[in-house]
Amino acid sequence: MAIYLDHAATTPLRPEVLEAMLPFLTEAYGNASSVHSFGRKARAALDDAHERIATRIGAEAREIVLTSGGTEALNLGLKGAAWAGKAHGHRIVTSSVEHHAVGHTLKHLEKFGFEVVELPVDRYGRVDPDQADAAITDKTILVAIMLANNEVGTIQPIAEIGRRVKKHRGVLFAVDAVQAAPHLELDVAALGVDLLVMSAHKFEGPKGVGALYLRHGTHILAQQQGGAQERHRRGGTENVAGAVGMAVAFELAVAERAETTKRIRRLRERLQKAILAVDGAELTGHPKERLPGHLSLIGRDTDGAAVAMNLDLNGIASSVGSACTSGSTEVSHVLSAMGYPEEEARGALRLTLGRTTTEAEIEEASRIIPPVIASMRIGAAAVAADPLGQGVGVA
């Protein structure tokens, strides 16, 4: 069996979650908008899911809009808030390390006259709250900053940034908490957020289900028309099974969060120690303010994509820090923003642990991964092929 170390990409569906969802995929198939008993049963389950998700982030059920995932929730929240606020201003402040679901959404808004200001980050990928504060002008309507980064696992000082944003009347604060939700406590009041986004498949829930928290009284313009569902904020027949799955998965994740994060932090540190012992391997992201199961690194003189492929052949599922677009490998915008030159960023590798990761898997991974990285260093390969430096066998 392969060892799955890509939990930041997605997680397996938890058996208890599947069990809770099954009735709504089989006999309880009613449309939540129907008035008969089938519909009422679906409505009750849907209302209950809103309530259960809301409670665990310190919100009210009516403040939760369920969507088809994190990407849709971010599109709805950001575009919805931008268009609703257009009469007051057109400036949006964000960071240079956001997920494309935020970055590309804001880029799209630029085409319609919005001005998007990207804050720089430090070597560890952190935004300076004072810089965020300074970037807000009287034309600013929205600040969008992620809680934890998907590539390097760095956690932003969101509560501090939230306090700065709140000093400016009428400016909304939107937070992408997709990666953070499985691992960090989310209390919308303590974080000072107006909009917050989560996605079920990152915490052992179903894929294609997400939630947008929208502070009561926050006005957004709906982005799809056709029905009055989700209190007129998201038209379309609701995914009842998905909503139930998200609620159960989140409830379980929150209940076990303290224990899970402690365990996976310890396992990640063990794997990290084994891998960083390799010459040229270097941790990326913040050394302490990072997600517990998130190990991101750069192997100097390696090609991350080649390392990930080799690891796959050796039974380890990992991911690279770069995205392949039409044949060419683009280096990560996150590492670029953190100041890594292109040749270093190409060596990025991401290993992410989850609740289901075992001691035995980490022991095995600690044995397999270091020699793979070491053997794939371009320099190491060249030296091995030509130990006396006579130019033999080096193309």
| 69 contributes a contact to ligand PLP by CB under 6 A | yes
In whole angstroms, what is the distance from residue 312 CA to residue 293 CA? 19
- Interface segment toward ligand PLP; rule CB under 6 A; list 130-138, 159-167, 175-183, 284-292: 175-183
Separation in Å, CA 355 to CA 12, 265, 267, 285, 321: 10, 11, 11, 21, 22
| Strand ranges (E), the chain | 3-4, 64-67, 91-95, 115-119, 140-144, 172-176, 195-199, 210-214, 281-283, 294-299, 316-317, 319-320, 323-325, 328-330, 348-352
| 352 contributes a contact to ligand PLP by CB under 6 A | no
> Of 75, 76, 132, 176, which one interacts with ligand PLP (CB under 6 A)?
176
- Give the shortest CB-346-to-ligand PLP separation in angstroms: 21
- Interface segment toward ligand PLP; rule CB under 6 A; list 171-179, 267-275, 304-312, 341-349: 171-179
Give residues with Cβ within 8 angstroms of 111, minimum separation 6. none
> Of 146, 165, 281, 331, which one interacts with ligand PLP (CB under 6 A)?
146
DSSP for 121-144, written as a single string? --TTSPPPHHHHHHH--TTEEEEE
Give yes or no for a contact between 85 and 141, defined as CB atoms under 8 angstroms apart.
yes
Give yes or no for a contact between 51 and 44, defined as CB atoms under 8 angstroms apart.
no
- Give the shortest CB-200-to-ligand PLP separation in angstroms: 8
- Give the shortest CB-273-to-ligand PLP separation in angstroms: 26
| 85 contributes a contact to ligand PLP by CB under 6 A | no
| 150 contributes a contact to ligand PLP by CB under 6 A | yes
324 is catalytic: yes
The one catalytic residue among 2, 134, 277, 324: 324
- Give the shortest CB-102-to-ligand PLP separation in angstroms: 7
> Of 49, 52, 65, 70, which one interacts with ligand PLP (CB under 6 A)?
70
- Tell me which residues touch ligand PLP (CB under 6 A): 69-71, 99, 101, 146, 150, 176, 178-179, 199, 210
